[in-house]
Amino acid sequence: EDKVVQSPLSLVVHEGDTVTLNCSYEVTNFRSLLWYKQEKKAPTFLFMLTSSGIEKKSGRLSSILDKKELFSILNITATQTGDSAVYLCAVEVSIWNSGNTPLVFGKGTRLSVIA
Amino acid sequence: DGGITQSPKYLFRKEGQNVTLSCEQNLNHDAMYWYRQDPGQGLRLIYYSQIVNDFQKGDIAEGYSVSREKKESFPLTVTSAQKNPTAFYLCASSIILGQGAYEQYFGPGTRLTVT
């Protein structure tokens, strides 16, 4: 059974801190790993990772994938209260030779940034 | 504006009643998905569809039904057979890529409460 595990489940930090969120996976036919941020309603897309060792950056957020050890991390530097959200990790598993397959989600990490 | 719409935002029903949640997208995406989210849980896949008139069961399809008569629309019916229907329901869509990775775009969600 395909599985995505995120840790920690929740985290409380002070503004300005740097945080690292973890995502490990056990899936067959890995295609990509995605990170989403969910604040109140719908998740919003952050990063898609397909290759090992290539860091993706967007402002204070960055992420990297290790396909050998089957995990990814999401880093947030100089955290702000607006970073408070649930961060979801999802893996795309390829079942057919063409077409898309649904994502397998982890349970998320709830990040709370306090002033 | 292109996007995914879900209606209604909040829905209340009595136990034993069927209820249909709407999902419409004008992104010209081929694939559409329904997820359910419970407190402290990640997203779990209910049903997905890659093309019109075709859909596949996800991990928790029991007690749900869908239709895909039009590319733009993927309504979800929560039947009286669903044991714990109270949850937050998210619809998503994506383009179809032959071998590449993709991202899913999410609607704003419908919070269903059954009493």
Express each pLDDT in A23-55 by its tens digit.
999 988 888 899 999 887 778 889 989 888 999
In 3D, which of A28, A45, A8 has the Cα closest to residue A104? A28
What is the DSSP code (8-state) at residue A102? P
Checking if the pLDDT of A68 tops 70, the result is: yes
Question: Using the beta-carbon criterion (under 8 Å), do B106 and A42 form an inter-chain contact?
Answer: yes
Contacts of A6 in chain B (CB under 8 A): 42
Question: Using the beta-carbon criterion (under 8 Å), do A88 and B43 form an inter-chain contact?
Answer: yes
Specify whether the CB–CB gap between B19 and B78 falls below 8 A: yes
Of the ranges A44-58, A88-102, B22-36, which one carries the lowest mean pLDDT score? A88-102
Residue contacts between A and B (CB atoms, under 8 Å): 64
Residue A98 confidence class, pLDDT cut points 50, 70, 90? very low
Question: Using the beta-carbon criterion (under 8 Å), do A42 and B108 form an inter-chain contact?
Answer: yes
CA distance, residue A100 to nearest chain B CA (Å): 6
Q: Who wins on pLDDT, B47 or A1? A: B47
Q: What is the pLDDT of residue A95?
A: 63
Q: Who wins on pLDDT, B98 or B43? A: B43
Cβ neighbours of residue B82 closer than 8 Å, sequence gap 6 or more: B62, B63, B64
Checking if the pLDDT of A71 tops 60, the result is: yes
